[in-house]
Structure 1
Amino acid sequence: MITIAPVPSDFADWQGLLSLILQAFSYMDTVIDPPSSAHRLTPATLAEKARDETAFLAHDGDTLVGCMFLKPEAASLYVGKLAISPACQGRGIGRLLLQAAEAEAKRLSLPALRLDTRIELVANHATFGAWGFEKTAEKSHPGYDRPTFIEMRKTL
């Protein structure tokens, strides 16, 4: 049974969480440019990120299978580092995490969710589109003269 819950205050498996994120994002390594910011994460920076943002974990029993980090903005709740274990993808875990994000946005009186996805990851665009997100912008990472990611938004 999949459970979704905020990261508990006594959570200590930051290395396990980092491994999950890196495994979930590994398919991007040969596809996207610039490289994923996930490669700059460490257990310590993840712990700091969880203190600064709201992090949710997905578990299948005692096994960590997914995560996301949420950051309030002026007009939306930003969804970042949404990661699902490759072995567990296609089981609705991403949708469950986004339902938790929607509940958090409503709790914070924010009218929308926002996320960024790389321009090359067309399948992600389609998945987020099926979940109610709409493309709102194409943007570039610093130093790039072409779009490198798209912004998507879901009005709640």
Structure 2
Amino acid sequence: MDLTPYRLGPGDPALPAVLTLIQSSFAFMDERIDPPSSMHKLTLGSLSEQAETGEIWGIGHPVQACVFLTPKPGSVYLGKLAVAPNARRQGLARRLIDLAATRAADLRCSFVELQTRIELVENHATFEALGFREVGRTAHPGYDHPTSITYRLNL
């Protein structure tokens, strides 16, 4: 498999595979997190919009790993990082996180930021092992307790 990340544009023929990859990779969360994942709101239209206003990157043909990158003031937000089960433990997530850091540096940003749910402790350990540090906790609207942890990777 070619491990070179490539950028997908609006209407890219690979967007349906990205949507399926995210839905299948995030499905395990349904019984573990509250509120439900925003993944349930994704459509091909919203993926095309993300590709136009932000960035979607993939690895593999068909797509075996993907990530959304969204430029923010001073940072790049990393979202919807997904790797197919049969492609895990090959460094694809690391490759996409490295890409996020490169894109942030290209945009003269000083950090990459992401959020993960409180309940997903295995994600916390993974992101910390990749150099991210917790910088805050937030609650989704209508919740009186933290539901997400914000992590930052300083460049």
Query: What TM-score comes out, normalization by structure 1 length?
Result: 0.94
| Residue equivalent to 1:19 | 20
- The residue identity in structure 2 corresponding to 1:113 is V
Corresponding residue number in structure 1 for 2:77: 78
Equivalent position of 1:123 in the other structure: 122
Cα distance change on mapping 1:46 and 1:10 into 2, 3 Å: closer
Q: Which stretches of structure 1, 4 residues or more, deviate above 6 A after TM superposition?
A: none
In the alignment, structure 2 segments of 5+ residues that lack a partner are none
Q: Tell me if the contact between 2:17 and 2:62 (Cα under 8 Å) persists in the aligned partners.
A: no
Seq. identity, %: 40
Q: For residue 93 of structure 1, what is the aligned residue in structure 2?
A: 92
Matched, 1:142 2:132: no
CA distance, structure 1, for counterparts of residue 94 and residue 15 of structure 2: 23
Counterpart of 2:153?
Answer: 154
Q: 1:33 to 1:103 in 2, by over 3 A?
A: same
Whether 2:34 is the aligned partner of 1:33: answer yes
**What are the equivalent positions in structure 2 for 1:105-124 lying under 5 Å apart?**
105-124=104-123
Query: 1:43 Cα shift?
Result: 1.0
Cα deviation 1:26-83 (Å, max 9, x = unaligned): 1111100000000011111111111110111111xx2210111111111211001111
Question: In 2, distance between residues paired with 1:49 and 1:123?
Answer: 27
Aligned length: 154
Could you tell which deviates more after superposition, 105-114 or 73-82? 73-82
What's 1:46 paired with?
A: 47
Superposed displacement of residue 3, structure 1: 2.1
Mapped contact 1:56–1:67 kept (Cα < 8 A): yes
Shift of 1:10: 6.4
DSSP 3-state at the match of 2:63: strand
Cα distance in structure 2, aligned partners of 1:136 and 1:150 = 8
Q: CA-atom RMSD, angstroms? A: 1.2
